[in-house]
Chain A
Amino acid sequence: MNASPATTARTTTPAAPTTGPSALSASRTTATAARVLRQLRHDPRTIALLVLIPCLMLILLRYVFDASPRTFDDIGASLLGIFPLITMFLVTSIATLRERTSGTLERLLALPLGKADLIAGYALAFGALAIVQSALATGLAVWLLGLDVTGSPWLLLLVALLDALLGTALGLFVSAFAASEFQAVQFMPAVIFPQLLLCGLFTPRSDMHPVLETVSDVLPMSYAVDGMNQVLRHTDMTATFVRDVLIVAGCALLVLGVGAATLRRRTA
């Protein structure tokens, strides 16, 4: 130890936060969600693309199958579940990647912010966005394009919202393995396309090769699409629908938890 000059250091305790940094803090979570939404508000083009593209695709689909409304019913309902998953996956993976590369993530983790606060904040903000997106797409499909739904459109919306959460969770998880925006975008075909092919959108899962059918059994998008189809064909909530919803929600939570583990306070 060297002879340090006498200092007039104050040893008062700081105006410290009331809650511990590890517990989920509602005000920090909402502050994070508000911040993410504020960032989006400065980017109206992204909002327009997010909200309008699913609607345009549905309109396109409706008139591609102009002669066979039944096909439109099948594919349209499935797509209402798939759109939010894909868009939220892309938006989240890029947003969290930016947070990592800009140094703001390191700064946040050096502050009294729990990892759960950060993730819940993102999920809340993108969940809100997903509600707007899904509400518009579902409304358009059901009331203007004549999508024939036997069950309640609210249930369609519920599944769409859970799909969006799943997309957010997958995007967050994947962004940990992407070093650049280029890589992050390439994870889309890697993570989403196989699920798209195997989810039963193109052909019923029972018609697939048994190996592929087994694989599709463990992919969450299969249950997202199955849930949509349950609403399409049944007036009330079936047991299968409840199972589908629980599986999609469980997967989303599981992947969010794994994603939280990829946020490190100390890095090399």
Chain B
Amino acid sequence: MNYEPDPPDTAAPAPAVHADDLTVTRGPRTVLHHLRFTVPRGRITGLLGPSGCGKSTLMRAIVGTQAKVTGTLDVLGRPAGHPTLRSRIGYVTQAPSVYDDLTVRQNLDYFAAILDPGRAAADRRHQHVTQAIADVDLTSHADALAGNLSGGQRGRVSLAVALLGTPELLVLDEPTVGLDPVLRRDLWQLFHDLAATRGTTLLVSSHVMDEAERCHRLILMREGELLAEDTPGALRSRTGADTVEAAFLSLVDEAAGRTRESTR
């Protein structure tokens, strides 16, 4: 990992995430193999692949909580895990990580106080917390204990925490799992609003292929390797498939054919 000084802000918009030869090992196993991709700024990038293909590990590497990461991984112009990135990235893990024995508002109050500490910032914090609760449509549950909420609601509390402090990059690990269709649509609307109005970069993982169509760009993964990286439309036309799911399957077959040839 190279610790370079800041690139000048006037340069052409650098990608939010740039990875080259990114490899992650867990114990004896290599979970991610020589990944090379970019995540453009201000767009929604979908990270798709079957369960266990390394999506969460990749997200943890980008956020800087994953150990044993080798290769190049630059996030917002800094090496991943750089201390100054901590207030610029919002991260939502797959399982909601909130305090069950606090109310929704108390949860957000605490995380807001970590991001923007001090008594002078109290009014600003209050405003941000109220906004974040409204963003995830939990205003009517603001004073309910997180532990008493449904699974989907707790997930949205976790998302609200990540929205605090207007992060430049939002890393969301399967944020729509277990949500009803209406909420899912609303959340995707929120993601598009964030990208359009706040210029937020979103990296959203999913193993549900029909969510792919809602992303600007896609990164398709399988067994720790990168299958493809393109827009949904380009992926479909390249493979001649009607849906991203069919495109994914055709890419898997193509890759399997290649490995069969190379091992022959």
Task: Give the interface of A toward B (CB within 8 A).
Answer: 1-2, 4-11, 14-22, 25, 27-28, 31-32, 34-35, 38-39, 42-43, 102-104, 106-113, 264-268
CB pair B100 A9 closer than 8 Å: no
Instruction: Name A266's contact: one of B42, B81, B91 (CB within 8 Å).
Output: B81
Residues of B within 8 A of A31 (CB): 110, 113-114, 117
CB pair A112 B65 closer than 8 Å: no
A108, closest chain B residue (CB) = B114
Return the 10 tightest CB-CB contacts between A and B, nearest first: A9-B41, A103-B97, A31-B113, A27-B117, A4-B40, A266-B67, A7-B42, A35-B110, A10-B199, A7-B41
A27-B118 contact, Cβ under 8 Å, with A2-B38, A110-B91, A268-B68: yes
CB pair B42 A16 closer than 8 Å: no
Q: How large is the interface on B (under 10, 10 to 19, 20 to 34, 35 or more residues)?
A: 35 or more
Residues of A within 8 A of B96 (CB): 103
For the residues of B in contact with A, the DSSP-based class is loop
Show 26 A/B contacts (Cβ-Cβ < 8 Å), sorted by A. A2-B38, A7-B42, A7-B43, A8-B13, A11-B9, A14-B168, A18-B118, A27-B117, A27-B118, A28-B114, A31-B113, A32-B114, A42-B101, A102-B98, A103-B93, A103-B97, A106-B97, A107-B111, A111-B111, A112-B83, A112-B86, A112-B87, A264-B67, A265-B65, A267-B65, A268-B67
CB pair B99 A106 closer than 8 Å: no
Q: Does B135 contact A (CB under 8 A)?
A: no
Instruction: Name A4's contact: one of B15, B83, B106, B198 (CB within 8 Å).
Output: B15
Distance A38 CA – B107 CA, assembled complex (angstroms): 10
B95, closest chain A residue (CB) = A103
Instruction: Name A107's contact: one of B38, B66, B68, B91 (CB within 8 Å).
Output: B91
Residues of A within 8 A of B111 (CB): 107, 111
Q: Does B151 contact A (CB under 8 A)?
A: no
Which of chain B's residues 13-49 have a Cβ closer than 8 Å to chain A? 13, 15-16, 18, 26-27, 38, 40-43
Q: Does B172 contact A (CB under 8 A)?
A: no
CB pair B66 A27 closer than 8 Å: no
Residues of B within 8 A of A39 (CB): 99, 101-102
Distance A15 CA – B198 CA, assembled complex (angstroms): 14
Q: Does B63 contact A (CB under 8 A)?
A: yes
Q: Does B64 contact A (CB under 8 A)?
A: yes
Which of chain B's residues 47-96 have a Cβ closer than 8 Å to chain A? 63-68, 81, 83-84, 86-89, 91, 93, 95-96
For the residues of A in contact with B, the DSSP-based class is loop
Residues of A within 8 A of B84 (CB): 16
B117, closest chain A residue (CB) = A27
CB pair A112 B13 closer than 8 Å: no
Instruction: Name B117's contact: one of A1, A10, A20, A25 (CB within 8 Å).
Output: A25
Distance A6 CA – B118 CA, assembled complex (angstroms): 38
- B96–chain A nearest beta-carbon distance, Å: 8
CB pair A4 B38 closer than 8 Å: yes
Residues of B within 8 A of A7 (CB): 13, 40-43
Distance A266 CA – B68 CA, assembled complex (angstroms): 9
Residues of A within 8 A of B91 (CB): 107, 110
Instruction: Name B145's contact: one of A2, A42, A107 (CB within 8 Å).
Output: A42
CB pair B27 A268 closer than 8 Å: yes
- B97–chain A nearest beta-carbon distance, Å: 3
CB pair B66 A266 closer than 8 Å: yes
CB pair B42 A8 closer than 8 Å: yes
CB pair A35 B102 closer than 8 Å: yes
Distance A35 CA – B107 CA, assembled complex (angstroms): 8
A265, closest chain B residue (CB) = B65
Q: Does B115 contact A (CB under 8 A)?
A: yes
CB pair A28 B81 closer than 8 Å: no
Q: Does B229 contact A (CB under 8 A)?
A: yes
CB pair A9 B42 closer than 8 Å: yes
Q: Does B161 contact A (CB under 8 A)?
A: yes
Distance A37 CA – B167 CA, assembled complex (angstroms): 28
Distance A112 CA – B27 CA, assembled complex (angstroms): 28
A105, closest chain B residue (CB) = B97
CB pair B118 A112 closer than 8 Å: no
